Amino acid sequence: MKWKLDKKDFKPFLQSLMVEYDLFAPVQLAEGVAVFKKIDRPDEVDFSSSNTQKPAKEVFFPQSETMFRYEKTGKQHQVTSTEEVERKRVILGARPCDIQAVSLIDQVFSGKEYTDVYYVNKRKATTIIGMACDHPLSTCFCSSMKGGPFHREGSDLFLIDLGEAYLVELLTEKGKTFQKNKFLKEALAKDINSAKEVEEKATPKTDGSLPVAGIEKRLDQMLESPFWERVQEKCIGCRICTYLCPTCHCFDIVDEALTNKGQRVRNWDSCLSSLYSQETSGHNPRPTNRERTRQRIMHKFNYFPKNFDQIACVGCGRCIIYCPVNFDIRQTIKEIQNSPVQNAK
Amino acid sequence: VLVGDPVEESPLIETHPEVKEFEKKSSEERWRFFEKESSRCIRCYACREACPMCYCAECFVDSSNPKWMEKGLSPQDLEFYHIVRAYHQTGRCSGCGACERACPMEIRLTYLTQRLNRDVKELFDFETGIDAEAPPPLSTYEIEDKQEFIK
């Protein structure tokens, strides 16, 4: 059964969620600049951007996160944990690409090898309300990356904008608990049909033709390829593409210490920064942009697939939109796939 | 060869309307604006990397010894980064706008360097990019320099 949420009921619906949950939703920080933030009032929610600048991963893996605090008073030491998540959470309006990306980084933070308590606690406490992407951008290529503008996997609830209302699908056990919400009404056949129309219109707008099959094997042979010289040429070495990437998940841990107290903090880090691989001795195994841009591509299209059988790119297109020098990862993918095959060494 | 009539040169530094508008605001309003702009910063350093005048071998934000600031997103760290970056540009910012164009968060802070450039014009009669031979005032000195501006 499918459900319907009238837009006139949308704010009361949000209000009803906020009784039980901390609600994270897109908020505009400036014209055209949106991020996911915990909201205090339904009015703050703003879907006017096609997608947020910072991806939804930030709700589980904040850019800067305190891991614990410590204080020394006299001969006493006190350590305060920050692991616990006090209230259940809802992410509202995450796009399918961002949700697919969360399931990718789940494998890192709550996979076979490691359990990251900070990430897992937030993840467990969170219900994801996905939002179908009815206006994909020209930079979107989710359809090439096993996703799509209506890809539902990973969402607990899924909303499709029908103009006057949202069609609501309850997809998981977590999602089905929302049946009780008084603002959800049974959807009629015409609502389900118009949702299908929206889907059929939107789907062809994303590029599903990128040739990604076999890219991991090709890259196996390209570690020392002159190709990377060319790739790095225009990169200015900022961190936009990695910080705004929904699958990038590297971090750096630092102590912010005062004389008798402080906190341990983890911050997003970026392989495009020279400091990332700088060793204490001063030696840097990735001394130039060549090694650093190569690392970014290799991690997404070779190392991650080797570890987890999936490419660590969901085709959201943020790295293309926001790159100051118009580095286009779609072009890089095509060039890798068209490069002459070298003998494996 | 000169074709056509010479056009009047525009006095570059004096004509930044946004700086003039900004100066009309109270100091609280000015601070609120600065706070709001810098609060969006994600520390990607695209402004620094795109800037033709940022060429320090080690940026102060990357230095761990001495450590000038933390690496997180606290307002004081974000504000400190943008204030110091602006001050490092005093009399050097050519107003190309690459920092603002590169910024993915649409942070608008070039008014700071524009204002500093105007100070440099008033104090030293120097304009960035006008005379390639003239040394930038903040990286040179003469024995006869008056010290009145140091307070």
B44 in contact with chain A, both atoms CB, cutoff 8 A:
yes
Contacts (Cβ under 8 Å, ≥6 apart) of A30: B36, B40, B105, B106
Task: Give whole-number Cα distances, A96 to A21, A92, A155, A167, A316, in Å.
Answer: 22, 12, 8, 16, 9
Contacts of A322 in chain B (CB under 8 A): 104
For residue A157, the model assigns a pLDDT of 98
Higher pLDDT, A50 or A119: A119
B12, pLDDT greater than 80? no
DSSP code at position A341: P
Is pTM beyond 0.80? Reply is yes
B149 CA: distance to closest CA in chain A (Å): 36
Instruction: Quote the minimal CA–CA distance from B91 to chain A in Å.
Output: 24
**Residue A341 buriedness (CB in 10 A; 0-12 / 13-18 / 19+):** exposed
DSSP states of B2-68 as a string?
--SPPPPPP-TGGG-HHHHHHHTS-HHHHHHHHHHHHHT-----HHHHH-TT---SS-GGG-BTTB-
CB contact under 8 A, A240 and B44: yes
pLDDT at A1: 81
pLDDT at A340 over 90: no
Residues in chain A with CB shorter than 8 Å from the CB of B45 are 238-239, 273
Give the per-residue pLDDT at A345.
Answer: 43
Whole-number Å distance between alpha carbons of B94 and B134: 14
Q: Is the dihedral of CA A29, A49, A41, A39 positive or negative?
A: negative
Cα first-last separation, chain A: 56
A235-290 per-position pLDDT tens digit: 999 999 999 999 999 999 999 998 899 999 999 999 999 999 999 998 999 999 99
* Mean pLDDT score, A10-39: 97
Give the percent of chain A with pLDDT over 70.
99
Question: DSSP 3-state assignment of A237?
Answer: coil
Tell me whether residues B105 and A239 touch, CB distance under 8 A: no
Percent of chain B whose predicted confidence (pLDDT) is above 90:
54
